[in-house]
Structure 1
Amino acid sequence: MELESVPGVGAKTADALSQIDDAERALQEGDVAALARAPGISDGRAARIARAAIRERHDDPGDFLATSRTREIYQEALSLLETRTVTDDAAARLETLYPSAAESRIREVREFTEEALKRDPGPDVLDALEGVKPLSTPSDVRVRDRCLATSDAERYAQAKEAIPEVSVEVVDDTRQVAELARSYATVIVLDEQFAGVDVEGDVRVEPDALDNPAEVVPERALAFFAANRQPLQAAVAVHRAADLDPACDLDTLEDALEKLAADGTPRGDDELDRLVTAVDDLDAAVATAESVANDHLREAIEERDVTIEGTDLLSLVERGAGVDSLLSRELADEYDAAIEAAREHLIDALRLEDTEAIARRTFPEEPTYPVEHTEEVVSRLREELTTARDRRATRLKRDLASDLADLREDAASLVDAALELDMELAVARFAADFDCTLPGVGSIEGADDRAAGEGVAIEGGRSPLLDVSFAEVEPIDYHVDGVALLSGVNSGGKTSTLDLIALVVVLAHMGLPVPADAARVQRIDECHYYAKTQGTLDAGAFEATIRDFGDLVTGVAADRETLVLVDELESITEPGASANIIAGILEALHERGATAVFVSHLAGEIRDVSSVGLAVDGIEAVGLEDGELIVDRSPVKGKLARSTPELIVEKLAEDGDGFYHRLLEKFES
């Protein structure tokens, strides 16, 4: 997929997206988190780009949500789904689900939903998901103990780009290579002309080094896995808890991660641990060994009486001899024992092996008091230990990096599968929390749209958008086919019925389950929902509203299926004029073959002035109890619902005088 072929992605955005790993895959899969890692791309922008890519793939014009209220319903539905994710990334990925008129897109998401509904969001899985997040690529890896060297300018530029973690040096001859070898633990020469070079130090001639960056900089792979240890371990736990089919052997990945320390260095190797400890503890061990020798000598001197004949003393003084000579003459054995004790302590404390001979030279044979180490020997010992440590670490890094590099793609797949599972579980939890079912949608089930049934049919539908506990929501049944007026008492549930219709239609066209025992919707191209206006509009606003409906009516093409939901349009102007206007709009929608539900308190008046036979459905109040309406929330087909005032007058007429009967007759006439 060409990046700039996605609507809304220009050259600047395409350049930003090209800086992330596998941008085309991210677009194809709607990986919002990956897209958001591009420079300057926010989460919201990433979601819009992902949706645009999906629409482009399905040839979807993307104009299903035709009004602000319809978009609000979509956002509320999306919020219900997002709150049921565990990870932020899964919530972001849900942003790629949107209502579509394209059958291929609806079918694609329905297949995802069918799999999601088989999932069991058990507590172990949800707990494991807590630690999963998208993998990151460390950008601060820098290796200072080795360098690349070349005499070719073009190769130099290639090396700088391919392996930016290490220094790249220009060399003209063997002398310069030797100088580098004194400054770096390892020098990797890229030019074959230097093959067979004989210089001191670790110098390798590897013309193909740029083709194997993991060999040159194993730290790259190690840093990646060290930085992502926790999400990878969490992804492994998710696969085990959910019994997912993993992309790689989980034990192998876990074992490799266990060999890696948090700072990206190998761990668990006894020899490396020994060398690291020896380098770190060298100075302290030397100081302690000196103390061992001096303590040994002090005790020997304190325990012995050294007698020197006068002539011997004069002879020593005449020769300028000092305490060293005295030690050599009188305490030679004790001094040798003290030095041996110091050497043994140093070797044992540092667990020295190959460098034991150097360590023994740390303390001189010639008697001195106090005993002091030879700094040149200690420096040599430190150099040998450090070199051994670094070589051991480098070898282990390469071995471990080689193992992990082979697992990198599979590791990314593990995390992606875990995040995909979080999306699926969100859908499963949504369906379980709101007693959802997968609805029929037009020809998606293999039948022609018209043959499959027009309009919207809902059985046992309950809206989760109400400001009450879902358990308290009364289920409703309603089927609308063509154009209908919905009448009913105040607070009877007319608006919530419109909301439920809109929600079912939006979710169905997202490919998701709907909150109903059963539902079927005709596949539509546009959903228009106009919420109730607040108060009568002034002339300018009234004109703008009428223009909106004019555009809607004239814009409904014969080959585009449209759903129109309107809540109490009569509030825009005087009741008499409203009835005429609404009747005219409904007549035009009827002629166009649209599906429409208009909620109105003027249903009777609108029906009377309409030139076509308009269906009038009613939400019936079946009585009053303690001043509260008792309402059957399911609209009754072909029934003009009685108003609240009529119900109150009827109740008064039951026990009252003729005045109330006279009032009741006015309603019935």
Structure 2
Amino acid sequence: MEFESIPGVGAKTASALAELEDAKRALREGDVAALAGAPGISEGRAARIARGAIRREHDDSSRLLRTDRAREIHRELLALLQERAVTSYAKRRLETFYPSSSSSRIEEVQSFAQRATDRDPDPDVRGALAGVTPLEAPRQVRVRDRCLVTSDAETLAAAREAVPELPVEVCEDARGLADLARGYSTVIALDEAFTGVEVAGDVRVRPDALDDPAETVPERTLSFFAGNRESIRAAIAVHRTADLDPTCDLAALDDALSRLGPDGEVKDDAELERLSRAVSDLDASVHTAESVANDSLRGAIEKRDVTIEGTDLLSLAERGAGIDSLLSRELADEYDAAVEAAREHLIDALALDSGESEIARNAFPEEPTFPVEHDESVVGRLREELVARKERRATRGKRDLAADLAAFREPSASLVRAALELDVELAVARFAREFDCAMPAFGGAGIEIEGGRSPLLSEPLEAIEPVDYTVAGVTLLSGVNSGGKTSTLDLVCAVVILAQMGLPVPADCVRLERFSELHYHAKTQGTLDAGAFEGTVKEFADLASGGEGRLVLVDELESITEPGASAKIIAGLLEALNETDTTAVFVSHLAREIRAAADCELAVDGIEAVGLAEGELVVNRSPVKGRLARSTPELIVEKLAREEGTAIYDRLLGKFES
């Protein structure tokens, strides 16, 4: 795939995408999280790149939304969809759905939307989705307890590139290997030449170590899963709650994750915990053992009456002997008991095994001394042994757990992607249910809406009166003030945008043609000055001479200038549009004047007020075909004429009817 062939992707962005592990898949599936993992690409940029890739795939150069108001309604609809998503991923992913004129793109999204609307937006599933986030690359780890060894410069370079987490040492012979074995808990020799070399320590000859990073440096795998553990476990919960088909054994994956700590350490290893405690408690336990021996010996001395013959005393003095000799001669048994108590205390306190106990026993000397003191060199050897065993145990545990988890790397990514995509589907499902949507059908000319309810209105859905409206060709839409003319235009615009995004529409039934362009001109605030008026007229003139298959929605264009001139201008524009393959709805209070000024027959629909009740209009919100709606003033005059019976009201009413 040539990344620069994607609309909006230049050389720099293409270079960033090339660094992704599977950019083609991410582009094909619209995986904005994976695309945002490329250097310098934000989530918003990733969504735009995904849209560009989709356009290229469907050879879609269409640009449906041609005016600010049309784009504003699209943003409002997209926001309504995004509000119903749980994850930030789904909110961005929804941005890859855009209104299109490409039949293949619309059909592709319709297939997705049909699956989505079959989903049940279960609150429990949505609750589980709250913990799902896109997987992140593992943080860089540095391992100091083991190293790689080689005598070959080429292997050295390859090792440093393949396994940057470990130190790589140069070693030529057995002496160098032995030195390294004293400094590292594990030494991994990459050269076959070291096979058979016997040195003290944990030395392994593994020429294939660079081919199996999961075993050589299990921290890499563990770092990935530790950093993404909560998201993966949330994805497992989503699959279980939503009854999705998993890509792996969920129980086995969950069990492996339960053995992994937040920093990538192995949990629930009793032997590792024993060794860790022993290393941590060694100094304190040694000092406590000394106190046990000295307290015992001091007590024995205090209770004992020692009698020394004069000749013995002289002999001790002549030899310069002190208390140690006296202890050896008179309190040998008591000393042995005190030292044995110290040894047992140290062994018990650290829960040492038989091999470690042999070293520990030598920490207290056989020769009597007072006070009893430990042999620091022996304690040092014990510490080295415990640390080495701990690190080897930790590495072995990491290696075993990493081996278990390595098989779940791709399945975990699939689980998380499936959960995140489910959130996208559920957002569409919620939107469709909450706005009582149906899938539209494409065919024929114009647009036909049955039971439409605009999602852009602030009222609750049940309070919105459904609207039926069919329009083809060029039509004037008349109606009373606050009768719902603008809301009808908004509904038509929203239905077309959603339909051409491939999504369900807020209506009982919709059939429409696939429009090439959507122009929605909102109501102008106030009369325009000469320059602005000229620009507006030119814009509509260009529109009238444009291409085929467009939908044009215009709200009260007459406000741009004086009513008389407006009626003539609008009539001319409608005449021009009537000569093209354009569907247009012009909302106007000047429908009668525009129709009179036109040189062709113009269709006029009306949103009728059927009367007044307690000073409020009673309106039929669905436009009536071929009906010029009466204005609010006419209704009021008619009411006065009926109730008052005065000639002046009849005269005023006659003006409306002429």
**TM-score (normalised: structure 1):** 0.95
Residue 638 of structure 1 deviates from its aligned partner by 0.7
Indicate whether 1:659 and 2:648 are aligned. yes
Which range is displaced more, 176-185 or 641-650?
Answer: 176-185
Indicate whether 1:75 and 2:75 are aligned. yes
How many angstroms apart in 1 are the aligned matches of 2:493 and 2:395?
A: 63
Instruction: Work out which of the residue numbers 451, 475, 491 in structure 1 matches 2:466.
Output: 475
Residue 220 of structure 1 deviates from its aligned partner by 0.3
Instruction: Work out which of the residue numbers 628, 632, 637 in structure 2 matches 1:644.
Output: 632
Match of 2:618 in 1: 630
How many angstroms apart in 1 are the aligned matches of 2:609 and 2:417?
A: 52
Match of 2:475 in 1: 484
Paired residue secondary structure (2:478): strand
AA aligned to 1:582 is: I
User: What does 1:10-409 correspond to in 2, within 5 Å?
Assistant: 10-172=10-172, 174-353=174-353, 354-409=355-410
Residue 175 of structure 1 deviates from its aligned partner by 4.8
Instruction: Work out which of the residue numbers 581, 599, 621 in structure 2 matches 1:611.
Output: 599
CA RMSD of aligned residues (A): 1.7
Change (3 A) 1:11 1:196: farther
Paired residue secondary structure (2:586): strand
Paired residue secondary structure (1:527): strand
AA aligned to 1:180 is: L
**For the Cα contact (< 8 Å) 2:186–2:201, is it kept in 1?**
yes
Residue 73 of structure 1 deviates from its aligned partner by 0.9
Match of 1:595 in 2: 583
How many angstroms apart in 1 are the aligned matches of 2:627 and 2:519?
A: 25
How many angstroms apart in 2 are the aligned matches of 1:534 and 1:154?
A: 75
**For the Cα contact (< 8 Å) 1:3–1:24, is it kept in 2?**
no
Change (3 A) 1:230 1:533: same
Which range is displaced more, 463-472 or 507-516?
Answer: 463-472
**For the Cα contact (< 8 Å) 2:477–2:604, is it kept in 1?**
yes
Change (3 A) 1:338 1:54: same
How many angstroms apart in 2 are the aligned matches of 1:201 and 1:528?
A: 79
How many angstroms apart in 2 are the aligned matches of 1:91 and 1:367?
A: 78
Which range is displaced more, 37-46 or 88-97?
Answer: 37-46
Q: Deviations over 1:490-528 (max 9, x none)?
A: 111111110011111111111111111222221122211
Percent of aligned pairs sharing the same letter: 68
Paired residue secondary structure (2:24): helix
Paired residue secondary structure (2:519): strand
User: What does 1:512-551 correspond to in 2, within 5 Å?
Assistant: 512-551=503-542
AA aligned to 2:445 is: E
User: What does 1:551-570 correspond to in 2, within 5 Å?
Assistant: 551-557=542-548, 561-570=549-558
Paired residue secondary structure (1:555): coil
How many angstroms apart in 2 are the aligned matches of 1:316 and 1:564?
A: 121
Change (3 A) 1:185 1:525: same
How many angstroms apart in 1 are the aligned matches of 2:362 and 2:488?
A: 94
Change (3 A) 1:597 1:240: same
**For the Cα contact (< 8 Å) 1:70–1:528, is it kept in 2?**
yes
Match of 1:584 in 2: 572
**For the Cα contact (< 8 Å) 2:110–2:503, is it kept in 1?**
yes
Residue 209 of structure 1 deviates from its aligned partner by 2.1
AA aligned to 1:133 is: T
How many angstroms apart in 2 are the aligned matches of 1:108 and 1:437?
A: 17
Paired residue secondary structure (2:245): coil
Q: Deviations over 1:544-572 (max 9, x none)?
A: 22222233232214xxx211111111111
Q: Deviations over 1:261-301 (max 9, x none)?
A: 11101121222121111111111111121121112112222
How many angstroms apart in 2 are the aligned matches of 1:301 and 1:247?
A: 74
Aligned residue pairs, count: 656
How many angstroms apart in 2 are the aligned matches of 1:153 and 1:533?
A: 76
Change (3 A) 1:384 1:62: farther
Match of 1:411 in 2: 412
Match of 1:8 in 2: 8
Instruction: Work out which of the residue numbers 600, 605, 609 in structure 2 matches 1:621.
Output: 609
AA aligned to 2:300 is: A
How many angstroms apart in 1 are the aligned matches of 2:9 and 2:2?
A: 10
AA aligned to 1:238 is: V
**For the Cα contact (< 8 Å) 2:62–2:102, is it kept in 1?**
no
Paired residue secondary structure (2:579): helix
AA aligned to 2:22 is: D
Residue 218 of structure 1 deviates from its aligned partner by 0.6
Q: Deviations over 1:330-351 (max 9, x none)?
A: 2111111111111111111111
Paired residue secondary structure (1:466): coil
**For the Cα contact (< 8 Å) 2:186–2:392, is it kept in 1?**
no
Residue 381 of structure 1 deviates from its aligned partner by 0.6
AA aligned to 1:137 is: A
AA aligned to 2:558 is: E
Paired residue secondary structure (1:355): helix
Paired residue secondary structure (1:373): coil
**For the Cα contact (< 8 Å) 2:139–2:224, is it kept in 1?**
no
Indicate whether 1:460 and 2:412 are aligned. no
Paired residue secondary structure (1:228): helix
**For the Cα contact (< 8 Å) 2:163–2:213, is it kept in 1?**
yes
How many angstroms apart in 2 are the aligned matches of 1:336 and 1:278?
A: 25
How many angstroms apart in 1 are the aligned matches of 2:4 and 2:156?
A: 33
How many angstroms apart in 2 are the aligned matches of 1:263 and 1:154?
A: 34
Match of 2:497 in 1: 506
Paired residue secondary structure (1:477): strand
Residue 206 of structure 1 deviates from its aligned partner by 2.6
AA aligned to 1:666 is: K
**For the Cα contact (< 8 Å) 1:159–1:210, is it kept in 2?**
yes
Gaps of 5+ in 2: none
Residue 199 of structure 1 deviates from its aligned partner by 4.0
Change (3 A) 1:169 1:15: farther
How many angstroms apart in 2 are the aligned matches of 1:172 and 1:368?
A: 48
Residue 434 of structure 1 deviates from its aligned partner by 1.1
Residue 357 of structure 1 deviates from its aligned partner by 0.6
**For the Cα contact (< 8 Å) 1:455–1:521, is it kept in 2?**
yes
Gaps of 5+ in 1: 443-448
How many angstroms apart in 2 are the aligned matches of 1:139 and 1:23?
A: 21
How many angstroms apart in 1 are the aligned matches of 2:484 and 2:272?
A: 74
Q: Deviations over 1:90-121 (max 9, x none)?
A: 11111111111111111111111111112112
Which range is displaced more, 204-213 or 329-338?
Answer: 204-213
**For the Cα contact (< 8 Å) 2:62–2:516, is it kept in 1?**
no
**For the Cα contact (< 8 Å) 1:455–1:481, is it kept in 2?**
yes
How many angstroms apart in 2 are the aligned matches of 1:178 and 1:357?
A: 24
Residue 198 of structure 1 deviates from its aligned partner by 4.1
How many angstroms apart in 1 are the aligned matches of 2:374 and 2:155?
A: 49
**For the Cα contact (< 8 Å) 2:518–2:551, is it kept in 1?**
yes
**For the Cα contact (< 8 Å) 2:87–2:129, is it kept in 1?**
yes
